């Protein structure tokens, strides 16, 4: 059965992008292996918000050709790459479609912050892999917005430190 998972990098002070929405601060950490290849093999479908989609497209190459991807947006998304489709349905219809599409593999809730927050607040995230990057951005786009809803209790499953200062925190939903 499909699980909904988050796999994301965050600065030590809680940001996933700088004030301009850029993630260039991650480049110094790209050469190390954080288990991404193993992770991506477990994914049957990707869900991402429009801002994340635009950010990925700005990098020049669509990296998810082999994985069906929903771009969740309030507006129309045109000229999508192979394997991607625009989506504007409510969360219930979105979850149902994603589960059918993913089969026995997981659904990667890729981002951005608003999309992840929506799925978290609706109790749809089963697992979170958060990579804390030893960088203080001082501002930008936060992963978690303290003003959104009720507290979410998660269960720490695993901690993996890396020699470069990155720490992977693996959480499971308490549901």
Span 75-115, pLDDT tens digits: 888 889 988 999 888 888 888 889 888 889 999 999 889 89
pLDDT of residue 157: 96
pLDDT of residue 153: 84
pLDDT of residue 101: 87
pLDDT of residue 59: 82
Q: Which CATH architecture has domain 4-155+163-167?
A: 3-Layer(aba) Sandwich (3.40)
**pLDDT band at 168; cut points 50, 70, 90:** very high
Answer with the residue of higher pLDDT: 117 or 7: 7
Side-by-side strand order, sheet with 84-87: 84-87, 69-72, 43-49, 106-111, 4-11, 127-133, 167-173, 154-161
Residue 123 has pLDDT above 90, yes or no: no
Question: What is the DSSP annotation of 28-91?
Answer: GGTTS--SHHHHHHTEEEEEEEHHHHHHHHHTSS-TTTTS-EEEE-SS---SPPTTEEEE---H
Span 40-70, pLDDT tens digits: 999 999 999 998 998 898 888 899 999 999 9
**Domain extent listing, the chain:** 4-155+163-167
pLDDT of residue 31: 94
Query: Taking residues 128-153, what's their average pLDDT?
Result: 87
Q: What is the pTM of this model?
A: 0.92
pLDDT of residue 77: 85
pLDDT of residue 162: 97
Answer with the residue of higher pLDDT: 25 or 102: 25
Tell me the percentage of the chain whose pLDDT exceeds 70: 97
What does the mean pLDDT of the chain come to?
Answer: 91
**pLDDT band at 10; cut points 50, 70, 90:** very high
């Amino acid at each position: 059965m499909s699980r909904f998972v988050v796999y994301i990098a965050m600065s030590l002070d809680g940001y996933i992008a700088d004030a301009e929405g850029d993630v260039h601060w991650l480049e110094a950490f790209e050469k190390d292996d954080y288990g991404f290849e193993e992770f991506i093999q477990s994914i049957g479908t990707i869900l991402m918000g429009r801002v994340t989609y635009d950010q990925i497209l700005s990098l020049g190459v669509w990296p998810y050709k082999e994985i069906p991807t929903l771009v969740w947006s309030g507006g129309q998304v045109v000229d999508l790459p192979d394997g991607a489709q625009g989506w504007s349905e409510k969360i219930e219809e979105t979850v149902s479609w994603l589960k059918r599409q993913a089969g026995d593999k997981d659904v990667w809730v890729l981002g951005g912050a608003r999309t992840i927050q929506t799925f978290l607040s609706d109790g749809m995230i089963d697992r979170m892999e958060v990579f804390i990057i030893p960088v203080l951005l001082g501002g930008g786009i936060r992963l978690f917005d303290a003003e959104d809803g009720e507290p979410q209790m998660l269960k720490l499953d695993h901690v993996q430190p890396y020699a470069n200062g990155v720490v992977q925190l693996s959480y499971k939903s308490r549901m």
